[in-house]
Structure 1
């Protein structure tokens, strides 16, 4: 199946990135939110440059969509690299308190430095950044304890930057999702499409659903066989092991939907995105055996 490369960089993202760079000068703490199913593919390559010497809190959202054993693998991998990941399920409010405390602690260090220079303390200024649809708005609403920003299970809902006062101690900048202007790594782009972290106008559902099956077949995880056999075979009644992803989509279409491949592709993607296939990662820490 030959389709164009996946690329999606709408005008509002380019505009938001420009505003974000300007606002970052005023920020003390950066909360970087990634999708826990694809924590490497949802890392914007320019984040280290944007963050500079500021404090950064790494938030891996949608923790309910991977197994505890995979979560542990990522925790160890990030810690080996000197990072502490905070796992959240912003939709249901899990892990939010720890994130708020981490942001607060980083802010206290900033105020200590101000105090050392004879300046008065001020509220911590934090920004939430990440790819579209990784759960930034849901996280902000949970940190605030009420719904103040629109949150939806689709990419590109937040369009403008704005400051929100969370408490006497923290002010938060809500920023639209940011994407690299060009997605050089098409494997990562496919994962973004599978996880619905990119606009659906940018990809072909059949190609993306076939890629999902192939990713699951190649997943090097202690739970990989469980994911494959239990998830795909029990859900659709066909063993994926002897087939390519594309062959599997066609086989399921013939078996269940009178050969309607597009409908089948949409169903498989939706089943994965809503958790009906189970708690399945698409990425594991590199060098995991």
Structure 2
């Protein structure tokens, strides 16, 4: 098969990247937002290089969609790798105060350096970056305590860069979602598609839904304690264990939608994205080899 199962068209990516890199020169703190269900798949490979020595605050959003046990595993893993993760549910405002404090603390450091050079203090400049649809705009609205940035459960709502003043201490730049030029790791690409975190992507709902079933089947075998029991069976009264993803989709379509596989795939992806299967992580911390 010549084309990868999941691809996107990088026309606007280059423009967004150029604009972001230009703005990054002016910021003090980078709030990198990832999806708590897939913290590794929503890690942009170039972010660290772009940030260089600036302060970074790692935000794992949608904490309501993973269990406390999974949250604990990720906390330990990131701390072992030298990063402190901040967990948020930006839709509900959970965890947002801690983000604001972390950004303000970075500002204290910035202004100390300014003071040492004989310069007056100024508000800390922060930027929120991450893949499309990971919850950046919802986070900004929570930080501002009012809705100034359009936020939606579809990718690609933010189109241009703009500054918003949070308080006397913090100015914030809302940036459009950034995605890598190409994603060589198709496993990660499938996870992004399942979670609807890749913006203007081109993918096949049926292949993505089948990949979700295969992924859940694997997780049920390898990490049953970290998932709800039989999530697909609980939702659809059809056990996924005996089937491959494609077979399950076909059987479910026959049972529920008169054989309409596309409709079944869309329903399944929507159900997952709304959390109707329960709290399910699709990434787990890599085990040491």
Q: TM-score range by the shorter chain?
A: over 0.9
Equivalent residue runs for 1:4-83 within 5 Å: 4-83=4-83
Aligned to 1:193: 193
2:137–2:151 CA contact under 8 A, matched in 1: yes
Equivalent residue runs for 1:156-235 within 5 Å: 156-199=156-199, 202-219=202-219, 220-224=222-226, 226-227=227-228, 229=230, 231-235=231-235
1:90–1:138 CA contact under 8 A, matched in 2: yes
Q: Secondary structure at the match of 2:240?
A: coil
1:12–1:159 CA contact under 8 A, matched in 2: no
Is 1:282 aligned with 2:278? no
Q: State the 1:31 CA deviation.
A: 0.2
1:227–1:280 CA contact under 8 A, matched in 2: yes
Per-residue CA deviation, residues 97-117 of structure 1 (Å, 9 max, x unaligned), is 000000110111111111122
Deviation larger for 57-66 or 252-261: 252-261
2:133–2:199 CA contact under 8 A, matched in 1: no
Q: State the 1:227 CA deviation.
A: 3.2
Is 1:144 aligned with 2:134? no
Q: Counterparts of 1:47 and 1:80 in 2: how far apart (Å)?
A: 20
Cα 1:234–1:128 change in 2 (3 A) is same
Q: Which sections of structure 1, spanning at least 5 residues, go unmatched? A: none
2:31–2:128 CA contact under 8 A, matched in 1: yes
Per-residue CA deviation, residues 11-67 of structure 1 (Å, 9 max, x unaligned), is 333211110000100100000000000000000000110110000000000000001
Root mean square deviation, CA, Å: 1.7
Q: Counterparts of 1:3 and 1:249 in 2: how far apart (Å)?
A: 23
2:9–2:201 CA contact under 8 A, matched in 1: no
Aligned to 1:115: 115
Q: Counterparts of 1:223 and 1:285 in 2: how far apart (Å)?
A: 14
Q: Counterparts of 1:246 and 1:209 in 2: how far apart (Å)?
A: 8
Deviation larger for 42-51 or 199-208: 199-208
Q: Secondary structure at the match of 2:196?
A: coil
Q: Secondary structure at the match of 1:60?
A: strand
Q: Counterparts of 2:12 and 2:170 in 1: how far apart (Å)?
A: 27
Q: Which sections of structure 2, spanning at least 5 residues, go unmatched? A: none
Q: Secondary structure at the match of 1:137?
A: helix
Q: Counterparts of 1:72 and 1:260 in 2: how far apart (Å)?
A: 40
Aligned residue pairs, count: 287
Q: Secondary structure at the match of 1:32?
A: strand
Q: Counterparts of 1:158 and 1:206 in 2: how far apart (Å)?
A: 28
Q: Counterparts of 1:222 and 1:271 in 2: how far apart (Å)?
A: 20
Q: Counterparts of 1:243 and 1:3 in 2: how far apart (Å)?
A: 26
Per-residue CA deviation, residues 170-205 of structure 1 (Å, 9 max, x unaligned), is 000100000001111111110000001123651000
1:209–1:268 CA contact under 8 A, matched in 2: yes
Deviation larger for 6-15 or 56-65: 6-15
Q: Counterparts of 2:201 and 2:118 in 1: how far apart (Å)?
A: 53
Aligned to 1:99: 99
Q: Counterparts of 1:71 and 1:208 in 2: how far apart (Å)?
A: 25
